[in-house]
Amino acid sequence: MILGLDISTSICGFAVIDKRGMLVHHTALDLRKEKNIFAKCESFIQKLKETRQTYYGIDEVYIEQSLHMFMGGKSSAKTLSLLTRFNGMVSWVCYDQFGKEPKYISAGSARKHCGIKIPRGQKAKKVVIEYIADTEPTFVVATTRFGNPKPEFFDRADAIVIARAGYNLEHTTWQHYPRGKMNEKKKILYEILGPYIDRNKEFLFACPKCNHHKRKLSVNIDKNMFKCWVCDYRGRNIVRLVKRFGS
């Protein structure tokens, strides 16, 4: 099972997808009345324990990656800092409860893995909640007296997208692509590691292990090898790299 989490200091979304790829649970945790970040974390711990006890077959936890930079009209420095701190606390709680590191995926990447496209000029959250309402039979949106979706359902929808993307990543392996399918393999690496420098048969990415500011992770698809020239993270099977940081 995959647990998807949309983390916010206001409302957190939870979603569970089973081994068949079916959405079996979605809910939200309203933290707006909690007085501080520690009280919010305590509430989150309780909710996570309840989820784990009910859905004890959870194998992987996927968390929406928090913003790492300022975006016009979105978050202030104070909000961004608070969210980053809370995200770190939540990550530790997940590690403590499930005994393994959670995996992170950006909202944009998650939507891409689910086949959700945001038309220019439209709000992503509105498009996402409409998409989930159309594709997930168990997702029924409750509305306010004005006919608008209640706030928590946006967070539920985002959590479902994270869980669905996690499921798709876990079930799309490197071996699914024949040796000659270079473009498909480059696409997978791009989605997991980001932009790269193409040096014929060698591709240079930013290393996800040491996070060096330059692209020092060398990946040779033909030889099925990778090596970071800074931290010496290396391997003779790219599947290992893909599994750890992506699928």
pLDDT of the residue at 50:
93
Specify the amino acid at residue 144: T
Decide: 28 and 13 in contact? Cβ < 8 Å. yes
Q: In the chain, helix, strand, coil percent, each to 5?
A: 40, 20, 40
Predicted pLDDT at 70 = 46
**pLDDT at position 170:** 78
Angle subtended at Cα 61 by Cα 15 and Cα 71, rounded to the nearest 5 degrees: 80
Tell me the three state secondary structure of residue 171: coil
Q: What angle do CA 59, 62, 64 make, to 5 degrees?
A: 170
Rounded to whole angstroms, the Cα distance separating 176 from 243 reads 13
Predicted local confidence at residue 172, as pLDDT: 61
- Across the beta sheet with 197-199, what order do the strands follow? 197-199, 202-205, 217-220, 225-228, 234-235
Tens-of-pLDDT digits for all 247 residues of the chain? 999 999 999 999 999 998 888 899 999 999 999 989 999 999 999 999 999 989 888 989 999 887 554 444 555 667 778 888 898 999 999 999 998 889 988 888 888 888 888 888 889 899 999 999 988 888 989 999 998 999 999 999 999 999 998 888 877 655 555 454 567 778 888 888 888 998 877 899 999 889 888 999 999 888 888 999 999 998 888 877 887 787 4
What's residue 69's pLDDT?
46
Tokens found for residue 103: 């995996």
pLDDT score at 160: 94
